[in-house]
């Protein structure tokens, strides 16, 4: 009898273990197949890495970033688009929920090698950090995520400027440690024979510098061969938590064999983020291949992988999302977009579900009133099918540097205004779904001088 009882107990434990394994496999399968919708910081909260997925600390579920990368913020094809107005256009019209700030470390005005720039290296660094701060603030005010990208390219091996990288990320992580929306990409595209062992050596020194100030921020690490060899990184991943690995693709060049690299990495449990993709050839120029690009985005969505389009620029190359010669810095219409831009943003609208959400009605009955204490009371009539409202106010009648407030009621008080200044106010309603926010048309503009 004792032997039979012992056997039964063992058998029961084995059944429980098998059942737990089956449940775990099912959970992983369901998570891998989930099609997460792009949402904002107020929805997801801080991000973390769980298995191969980027996840929300607020909901516990999968999170996905459908973002746009600037071109190099070192140059006039990149930095003019670092603004709340530009980011707001991407967010409102296409459901973009994240921005990547690409800062080149070398070439003209490079952070580590300024090349032919007339300014001193210190002046170059100060200006680039100022541009990063402008971008982080704009993204934060808009409830968007933002990647600070150490854009290794012509320097090839990230160890070349490792000392400078450590100082930079120590400063950045200290400055933004309290923010849930900031991610760090520590080496963009290692190349020129740089090995995974080289990158590992670099990452093992840079990541602890960030962790000294921010123990939880998501850190993104480039992989060999212009960030394509995620399968190689999967053989020996880093030993840190909350780390993802970068895959870059340009659809007219990188096809099935590169998608297989991604699948191999995922099968081995490697968390991947596509911090840069283009519809063009790998040079960033040349032919577009939308059929291959669609295969890529379908695969990424099937696996809940975040991705960022290259690039928010009017540069005369086919990967630029804006038409060459376009002078507008925000508020782009279809005629301002390049062929690549039209395709990418139409994909974003569809994949974010914005095509399927009816816009709410236009806000009417807008009233503004000066309240004692340099405050402004704004009220309006409820719009049809509205879940909330976004108020814009500025001391500039063209709403330059406008501030935003989001509320669900039909009135709001705005404080900390400047006495004897005239403020301009307008607002619009939004309708919310799992896909994000669909905005209605703006109301008329009201102006008022702050006297009290």
pLDDT in tens, 209-261: 999 999 999 999 999 999 999 999 999 999 999 999 999 999 999 999 999 99
Whether the pLDDT of residue 415 is over 50: the answer is: yes
Out of 162-171, 266-275, 359-368, 397-406, least confident range: 397-406
Angle at which helices 121-141 and 84-94 cross, to 10°: 40
Query: Quick one: pLDDT band at residue 435, thresholds 50, 70, 90?
Result: low
Query: Quick one: pLDDT band at residue 401, thresholds 50, 70, 90?
Result: confident
Q: What is the pTM of this model?
A: 0.83
pLDDT in tens, 267-285: 999 999 999 999 999 999 9
pLDDT in tens, 57-96: 999 999 999 999 999 999 999 999 999 999 999 999 999 9
pLDDT in tens, 6-63: 334 434 444 444 443 333 333 333 333 444 557 899 889 999 999 999 999 999 999 9
Query: Quick one: pLDDT band at residue 399, thresholds 50, 70, 90?
Result: confident
Domains of the chain as residue ranges with CATH: 41-355 (3.20.20.80), 364-449 (2.60.40.10)
Q: CA 46, CA 301: separation in Å to the nearest integer?
A: 21
- Percentage of the residues of the chain whose pLDDT score is greater than 70: 91
Mean model confidence pLDDT for the chain: 91
Whether the pLDDT of residue 346 is over 90: the answer is: yes
Whether the pLDDT of residue 400 is over 90: the answer is: no
DSSP single-letter state for residue 225: H
- Percentage of the residues of the chain whose pLDDT score is greater than 90: 83
Residue 213 CA: distances (Å) to CA of 100, 173, 292: 21, 6, 41
Phi-psi map region of 273: left, alpha, beta (phi>0 left; psi -120 to 50 alpha)? beta
Lookup: tokens for 306: 């975040």
Q: What pLDDT was estimated at residue 18?
A: 40
Q: What pLDDT was estimated at residue 131?
A: 98
Residue (of 103, 46, 41) closest to 67 by Cα position: 41
Q: What pLDDT was estimated at residue 434?
A: 62
DSSP of 155-179: T-SGGGGHHHHHHHHHHHHHHSTT-
How big is the CA angle at 142 (ends 149 and 244), to the nearest 5 degrees? 35
Q: CA 149, CA 184: separation in Å to the nearest integer?
A: 6
- Bridge partners for 66 per DSSP: 307
Residue 403 CA: distances (Å) to CA of 126, 146, 385, 426: 26, 19, 25, 11
Q: Kindly state the helix (H) or strand (E) to which residue 75 belongs, with its residue range.
A: none
How many helices, marked H, and strands, marked E, lie in the chain?
A: 11, 18
Please count the other Cβ atoms lying within 10 Å of the Cβ belonging to residue 316.
12
Residue 114 burial (C-beta neighbours within 10 Å; 0-12, 13-18, 19+): buried
Q: What pLDDT was estimated at residue 436?
A: 67
Averaged pLDDT for residues 337-347: 98
Sorted by sequence, the CB contacts under 8 Å of residue 109 that are 6+ apart come out as: 74, 75, 115, 117, 119, 124, 127, 128
Q: Between residues 186 and 433, which one has the greater pLDDT?
A: 186
pLDDT in tens, 100-123: 999 999 999 999 999 999 999 999
Q: Between residues 289 and 404, which one has the greater pLDDT?
A: 289
Residue (of 264, 329, 272, 422) closest to 134 by Cα position: 329
Whether the pLDDT of residue 126 is over 70: the answer is: yes
Q: What pLDDT was estimated at residue 358?
A: 82
Phi-psi map region of 436: left, alpha, beta (phi>0 left; psi -120 to 50 alpha)? left
Averaged pLDDT for residues 175-201: 98
Active site residues: 189, 276
Q: What pLDDT was estimated at residue 441?
A: 87
């Amino acid at each position: 009898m004792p032997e039979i009882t012992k056997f039964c107990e063992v058998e029961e434990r084995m059944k429980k273990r098998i059942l737990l394994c089956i449940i775990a496999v099912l959970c992983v399968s369901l998570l891998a197949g989930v099609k997460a919708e792009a949402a904002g910081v107020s929805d997801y909260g801080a991000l973390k890495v769980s298995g191969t997925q980027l996840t929300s600390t607020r909901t516990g579920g999968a999170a996905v970033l459908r973002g746009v990368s600037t071109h190099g913020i070192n140059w006039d094809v990149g930095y003019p688009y670092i603004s709340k107005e530009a980011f707001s256009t991407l967010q409102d019209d296409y459901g973009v929920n994240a921005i990547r700030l690409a800062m080149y470390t070398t070439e003209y005005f490079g952070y580590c090698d300024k090349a032919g720039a007339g300014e001193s290296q210190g002046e170059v660094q100060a200006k680039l950090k100022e541009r990063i701060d402008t971008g982080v603030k704009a993204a934060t005010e808009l409830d968007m995520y933002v990647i600070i990208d150490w854009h290794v390219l012509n320097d090839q091996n990230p160890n070349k400027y490792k000392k400078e990288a450590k100082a930079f990320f120590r400063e950045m992580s200290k400055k933004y440690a309290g923010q849930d929306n900031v991610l760090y990409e520590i080496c963009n595209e290692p190349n020129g024979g740089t090995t995974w062992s080289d990158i590992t050596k670099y990452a093992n020194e840079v990541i602890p510098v960030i962790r000294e100030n921010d123990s939880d921020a998501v850190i993104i690490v480039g992989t060999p061969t212009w960030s394509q060899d995620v399968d190689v990184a999967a053989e020996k991943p880093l030993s840190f938590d909350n780390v993802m690995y970068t895959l870059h693709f340009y659809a007219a060049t990188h096809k099935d064999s590169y998608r297989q690299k991604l699948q191999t990495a995922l099968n081995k449990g490697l968390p991947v983020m596509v911090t840069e993709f283009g519809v063009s050839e790998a040079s960033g120029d040349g032919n577009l291949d939308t059929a291959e690009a669609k295969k890529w985005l379908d695969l990424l969505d099937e696996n809940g992988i975040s991705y960022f389009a290259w690039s928010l620029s009017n540069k005369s190359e086919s990967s630029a999302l804006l038409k060459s010669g376009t002078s507008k810095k925000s508020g782009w219409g279809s005629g301002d977009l390049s062929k690549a831009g039209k395709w990418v943003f139409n994909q974003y609208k569809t994949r974010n579900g914005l095509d399927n959400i009816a816009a709410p009605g236009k806000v009417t009955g807008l009233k503004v009133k000066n309240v004692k204490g340099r405050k402004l009371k704004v009220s309006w009539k409820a719009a049809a099918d509205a879940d909330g409202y976004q108020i814009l106010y500025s001391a500039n009648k063209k709403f330059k540097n406008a501030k935003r407030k989001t509320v669900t009621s039909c009135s709001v008080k705005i404080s900390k205004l400047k006495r004897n200044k005239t403020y301009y106010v307008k607002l619009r309603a939004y309708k919310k779904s799992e896909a994000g926010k669909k905005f209605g048309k703006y109301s008329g503009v009201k102006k008022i001088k702050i006297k009290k």
